[in-house]
Every structure is written in C-alpha cells, then in structure tokens.
Amino acid sequence: MTTAPRQFPDGFLWGASTAAHQIEGSNINTDWWVREHTPGSGVAEPSGDAADSFHRYPEDIALLAAAGLNAYRFSIEWARIEPEEGLVSRAMLQHYRRMIQTTIDAGLEPVVTIHHFTSPRWFAESGGWHGRDAVDRFARYVETVLPILRDVRRIVTINEPNILSMMHGKHEGDLAAIGLPAPDDAVSEALVAAHRRSREILTQLPGAATGWAIAGQAYHAEPGCEAEMLAFRHPREDLFLEAARGDDFVGVQAYLRTFIGKDGAVPVREGVETTLTGWEYFPPALGIAARHAWDLTGGAPVLVTENGIATADDARRIDYTHDALLGLHDAMADGVDVQGYLHWSALDNYEWGSYKPTFGLIGWDAETFERTPKPSAAWLGGIARSGLLTHPDPAHIPYTDPQ
C-alpha cells in the first residue's frame, strides 16, 4: 500500500445501497414473504414492516443527501409491479417513478436494481428460475418498467445472480452462513440469459449504462489447493463475471474472504475477528474483488454496488470502510477503472432472515421508525464532498493480515 493521501477522482459516485424487500415492509407478494411464513424454512424472523421505507423513502433519501452523498442505489419490486402474472399495477409503477424522481430532485444519482433476490410468488409457484418461461417473464417485466427508468443513467439488471442461484437450490435458511448450497446450474444459465435479454431491452433507453452486480469474495487457496479453489470459485463467481464481458459496467459487491481447502470452504479460523454475520473481518476483500472483476471481464468499468460490515460498533464500521477504500484506491492506482462506491447499507435492514446483523449508516426505532443517522453516515458523506479519504482517528492503523 502506498502512504500518500488518497484522493478519489471528480465525478466519483459516493452513495449507499438498499433493496426493496429489506427495507420497505409488508412486501407480501414475494417468494421471500412466503418463505418467511413457511414453518421449517429455517428463517429466524419475518421481515414484517421492515424499516417502513415504502412510506418513508423521502426521508431516507433526504438523510443521504444531507450527509453529503451523491448517489442512492435501490431496487424496484417486481412482486408489487406485477402482483399477478400479466396484471400490472400502474400505481406501483408511479410509486417507483416518484422514488426515482425524489432521488434526482435531492441531487443524488439513482442507481436502480431491477431484481434484488425477490420474485413474485406467482413466478415462484410456476417454476421460478427453473420455469420454461422464466426468461420471457422477466423480459416482460423489464419491458414494463422501461418508461419509469427513462432518465436513470445506471441500471443493475439482477443483484448477485451467483447468490440467487445458490438461494434457489436447497435453501438452508440463513444467508449469513457462508455455507450456502452449491449454485444450481440451470438457474445460473437462466439468469445469464435473463441478464442478456434485459440489457438488449434496456438499449431502448439511450444513455443508460447497464450491468449486473456480482457477489465477489476474496478466495484464498490453502497450500496446494489452487486447483480446488479455482474449481470452487468458477460456478460461484467467475461464470457470472465472464458473462459481464462487454457490459457497460460490472457491479462489485464484496465483504469477506473464504479459504478453500481439499474439501471446499474452510470455516473461519478460531480467534479471528468476525462480524455480526459471522464473516471474517477482512477489509481488503473489496480491492481484491475489484481487481478480479476487472481481470475477468476484460476491463469492464467497476462500480462498487455493495461493501460494508454488520456491526453494532459504528466506529468499527468506519475502520472497515476506510480500510476497504484504501484497497480500492490501490486497485485504481494500478489501473482498475472504478466509477463509484455504494456502501451497504443506507439503513439497518432485514438481513434475509434476521434483523440482528446491522449494516446501516442509519439506524431506526422499531416502534416509531424514527431514523437516526450514525456517525459513519456523516463520515462517508464528508469523504464524498472532498473526495479525500480520511479517518476520524489520526492514530488509526490500517488493517494488516494476521494470517
């Protein structure tokens, strides 16, 4: 790592990300809502009202703008827009259009995700991503939302198709566990096809850059296990990055690292600092994932669409994010074209089965929904304003690998 002050370029996007199901509340027409209320599904608690952002989005957007950020990534909900197959809700299209407009009016660039893990229940009931018509159905949804996306400059087609493919197989309940089932090859194939079709459809919006957002980990091979690591990583990550070749950008989302041994993923070692999701505290994951995405896509511009930490200690959130940004800046200094950094997450939210892992720059009261921005929100907003990476504690020592 170099020691010079880290200046990020003008025009860099600095923002925060959310997903509809994790913050809106009462998202009852999704497959996830069904899962949350199916006995034995392994989900610890249901999403319920979430952060009530379905109603409170103007306040959330205003808080991000007031902090100093210049971008907001959020998703639109297919299950609200098309609650029954072929039945399009004009009111919901207008709702999401208002959300886009509110973001623009607040001086933030909207980065809109078309699909973030949740699908309508009717879609799931008729085969989900295994269904023969899955890609056509998704393409029809993309056609439906074209008009509301007319002035959105960056669109993410599908969030983490690699994790979605794993969720779609034999789901074991808690996404916080790294031991997700292996991806389902048929689902992966359908998602690649859906992404390609969506990008084609979205060319009808001149000026819209389109890509998808891939969950990237820092994979490390145990000694002598390089081949096993590559074989493990390919269906879980590389396949999706390869499919992003030629896209306008690739969304990089990175949080952690995983060691791969002879028998696959190795559990986090004893004594290592972990976060509320049980993941190893490992800020370099972001720089490593950005470089890997750049290499595998053959130079697609990188947009960090997610990076963050589940912690109750906001000072540790700042440490993690600061050190992740150091690694990202190093990657940029080495030639990786990075367009922006969107922190996960704007708000504490429903972490796919539990409210315990708090990722937010903004907290909220479970009874009143009153928002409280954390010091990390003001800190990240300050960096967005100046473009200069600083840490509030001048004595902060950046992360070094204890391994």
Q: Residue 364, SS3?
A: strand
State the nearest-atom distance from the C-beta of 350 to ligand BGC, in Å: 8
Applying CB under 6 A, does 106 fall inside the site for ligand BGC? no
State the nearest-atom distance from the C-beta of 247 to ligand BGC, in Å: 18
Applying CB under 6 A, does 215 fall inside the site for ligand BGC? yes
Count of positions (residues) in the chain: 403
State the nearest-atom distance from the C-beta of 43 to ligand BGC, in Å: 14
Looking at beta carbons only, is 74 or 232 nearer to ligand BGC?
A: 74
State the nearest-atom distance from the C-beta of 356 to ligand BGC, in Å: 12
Looking at beta carbons only, is 163 or 380 nearer to ligand BGC?
A: 163
Q: Residue 337, SS3?
A: coil
Applying CB under 6 A, does 351 fall inside the site for ligand BGC? yes
Residue type, 85: E
Query: Given the DSSP bridges, would you call strands 13-17 and 264-266 parallel, antiparallel or unpaired?
Result: unpaired
State the nearest-atom distance from the C-beta of 309 to ligand BGC, in Å: 9
- Please select the residue that binds ligand BGC; options are 160, 238, 319, 323, rule is CB under 6 A: 160
Applying CB under 6 A, does 159 fall inside the site for ligand BGC? yes
Residues 6+ apart with CB under 8 A from 348: 51, 355, 358, 359, 360, 362, 363, 364
Burial state string for 308-336 with b = 16 or more CB within 10 A and e = fewer than 16:
bbbbeebeebbbbbbbbbbbbbbbbeeeb
Q: Please state the separation of Cα 310 from the chain's center in Å.
A: 14
Applying CB under 6 A, does 306 fall inside the site for ligand BGC? yes
Applying CB under 6 A, does 70 fall inside the site for ligand BGC? no
State the nearest-atom distance from the C-beta of 22 to ligand BGC, in Å: 6
Residue type, 181: P
CA separation, residue 321 to residues 185, 215, 283, 325 (Å): 34, 17, 7, 6
Q: Are 194 and 143 in contact (CB under 8 A)?
A: no
Looking at beta carbons only, is 20 or 225 nearer to ligand BGC?
A: 20
Q: Are 195 and 159 in contact (CB under 8 A)?
A: no
* Binding segment toward ligand BGC, per CB under 6 A, in 33-41, 86-94, 125-133, 158-166: 158-166
x/- site string to ligand BGC, residues 3 to 42, per CB under 6 A?
----------------x--x--------------------
Applying CB under 6 A, does 99 fall inside the site for ligand BGC? no
**Which pair of structure tokens corresponds to residue 400?**
């070094």
CA–CA distance, 112 with 64 (Å, rounded to integer): 16
Looking at beta carbons only, is 6 or 279 nearer to ligand BGC?
A: 279
Looking at beta carbons only, is 216 or 391 nearer to ligand BGC?
A: 216
Looking at beta carbons only, is 93 or 359 nearer to ligand BGC?
A: 359
Q: Residue 285, SS3?
A: helix
CA–CA distance, 94 with 283 (Å, rounded to integer): 39
Query: Given the DSSP bridges, would you call strands 209-215 and 154-159 parallel, antiparallel or unpaired?
Result: parallel
Helix, strand, coil shares of the chain, percent, nearest 5, are 40, 20, 45
Applying CB under 6 A, does 163 fall inside the site for ligand BGC? yes
Size of site (CB under 6 A) for ligand BGC = 10
State the nearest-atom distance from the C-beta of 275 to ligand BGC, in Å: 10
* Binding segment toward ligand BGC, per CB under 6 A, in 85-93, 138-146, 155-163, 193-201: 155-163
Binding residues (CB under 6 A) for ligand BGC: these are: 19, 22, 159-160, 163, 215, 253, 306, 344, 351
